[in-house]
Chains A and B, each alone.
Chain A
């Protein structure tokens, strides 16, 4: 069965500090993994995706994620947080015909 666990429903960082949002997955088949960002009252915007090529994936807005099979993890990072990064972030995993989402992590950036 496929599932995604996001550790930490809320993360606060200072502007300019490292952002680390955690995602662990469970999958019976090699997974495709995604990170999406959602701003208030908006839909989901794709940040990056892992589709079994390079394990370090670079996305938009300076975000990147590393697929670690041994740890079943796909954590999202950004070296320096910006105020505009404040949003809800969702990790997702492909199922047979849809995406399974985690419960999300709300990122707050403190000036």
Chain B
């Protein structure tokens, strides 16, 4: 397994356009997370999935943000009608969550850097 993969690495878009990012987690991991990181800050949690179920989405920044994980494997994060304030690094992570042992091994991808012009 090559770890968590994110695509694209960089995205430049014009304000008002929609963008979609993809994340491929480690195959054995059942949880997938999305984080946003702005300049000079630590990553900020957005949402997560357990298999295909999105169990937390209240931290998504606005209703312009949505995420899917249709088959419990890869995930997409979409931002509609992008704004300049959406410019950030979007990080994906995956982990293995067990019923008895908790969550182990958060592994992060290299991120997608979004620039809205």
Contacts and interface: CB of A to CB of B under 8 A. Distances in A.
Nearest to B92: A43
Interface residues of B, number: 24
Contact of B106 (A41, A99, A102, A104): A99
Contacts of A25: none
Main secondary structure of the interface of B (DSSP, over half): strand
Interface string B45-58: 10010000001100
Please classify how large the interface on chain A is, using the bins under 10, 10 to 19, 20 to 34, 35 or more.
Answer: 20 to 34
B102 to A, nearest CB: 8
A101 interface: yes
28 contacts: A4-B42, A34-B106, A41-B111, A42-B110, A43-B4, A43-B91, A43-B108, A43-B109, A43-B110, A44-B43, A44-B108, A45-B108, A90-B42, A90-B43, A92-B42, A94-B103, A97-B48, A97-B56, A98-B33, A98-B45, A98-B48, A98-B56, A99-B45, A99-B93, A100-B45, A101-B43, A102-B42, A104-B40
